[in-house]
Amino acid sequence: MLELSIRGLSKTYPNGVRALSDVTLTIPTGMFGLLGPNGAGKSTLMRTLATLQEADSGSARIGELDLDLLVQKDEVRRILGYLPQEFGVYPKISAETMLTHFAVLKGLTAAKERKEVVDALLERVNLFDVRKQNLGTFSGGMRQRFGIAQALLGSPKLIIVDEPTAGLDPGERVRFHNLLAEIGENVIVILSTHIVEDVSDLCSRMAIISHGRVLMTGDPAEAIGAIGGRIWQRAVPRNELEGYQRDHAVISSRLVAGRTVVHVYSESSPGETFEPVNASLEDVYFSTLHHAA
């Protein structure tokens, strides 16, 4: 089983922003969720692992292959599949033609083998029937599935997907989840997202990152169990929300049927007007961010 070992990874941009601060993670084969708010450092970490930018310090090695991702860049790119957050396509080129072009860039020079690989990948991501269709006509979900097809070229050992379901409708999101789950059975897949449901639906391991620092790592189910009995909720008048935030550890608030419902983290009941609720991964996420603030 492959394992990605990241040790002491740090990155500060020329403008002084410290995007990564001593990031240390161990990522096994399977789906690994990297969860954090926008600006947390997720994309910086993904681009660094994808050999697209330099880290200031640290290392990232893939165990059995004994490759340092930050040094042996050419070797790493042969085993890497990457779907960035902003994945552009040429709108007037067909999916088949574009994927064939990517296959050539990946080193598949034999025409017969290349066609077999391209056809198989388009079939796998359920785009074979529309392979002659221009990419500009594809929906957001279809473009993301095409992005996964190009990321799978060359049978990668490590696949990085950055915010892959943002903007997808519920049906496309489910189809994309199913595809990622299938892929993650035999390779390392790092799913970087700010959408908690993506991690709870797909990942057996996860980390929460904020301000470039890893705040927690572990099994999502175990993390939920660890805060069981400590999450309380009640509906509050909107004009009293600030007071509740001042007096209690309010980890989240949302409008539900026109009412503001708050979730509070507390070892015991914060008051008789609060009721206990089953913890969720969203509560893990928000309570972790709250305690780190």
CATH classification at residue 176: 3.40.50.300
Same domain, yes or no, for 77 and 154? yes
Q: Phi, psi (5° rounding) for residue 62?
A: -100, 115
Residue 247 counted as domain residue:
yes
Residue 31 counted as domain residue:
yes
Same domain, yes or no, for 146 and 77? yes
Task: Give the total number of structural domains in the chain.
Answer: 2
Terminal alpha carbon distance of the chain: 36
pTM: 0.89
Rg (Cα) of the chain, in Å, rounded? 21
Residue 19 counted as domain residue:
yes
Residue 288 counted as domain residue:
no
Give the domain range for residue 84: 3-89+138-218
| Residue 188 and residue 159 in contact, taking contact as beta carbons nearer than 8 Å | yes
Residue 110 counted as domain residue:
no
Q: Phi, psi (5° rounding) for residue 218?
A: 160, -160
DSSP structure class, residue 44: H
Across the chain, mean pLDDT equals: 92
Q: Which residue has the tokens 């015991």?
A: 268
| Closest to 87 in 3D by CA, of 145, 3, 169 | 145
Cα dihedral 241→284→40→252 (10° resolution): -10
Same domain, yes or no, for 72 and 9? yes
Whole-number Å distance between alpha carbons of 81 and 51: 11
Beta bridge partners of 254: 261
| Closest to 229 in 3D by CA, of 177, 195, 270, 171 | 270
Q: Tokens representing 169? A: 């409708």
DSSP structure class, residue 94: B
Domain boundary among 170, 197, 218: 218
Question: Is the per-residue pLDDT at 84 higher than 80?
Answer: yes
Same domain, yes or no, for 14 and 54? yes
Question: Is the per-residue pLDDT at 283 higher than 90?
Answer: yes
Whole-number Å distance between alpha carbons of 52 and 48: 6
Same domain, yes or no, for 148 and 272? no
User: pLDDT value at position 73?
Assistant: 86
Whole-number Å distance between alpha carbons of 94 and 146: 11
Per residue in 188-242, pLDDT (tens digit) is 999 998 889 999 989 999 999 999 999 999 999 999 999 999 999 999 998 899 9
Question: Is the per-residue pLDDT at 185 higher than 90?
Answer: no
Same domain, yes or no, for 81 and 11? yes
Same domain, yes or no, for 146 and 244? no
User: pLDDT value at position 40?
Assistant: 93
User: pLDDT value at position 38?
Assistant: 87
User: pLDDT value at position 48?
Assistant: 93
Residue 68 counted as domain residue:
yes
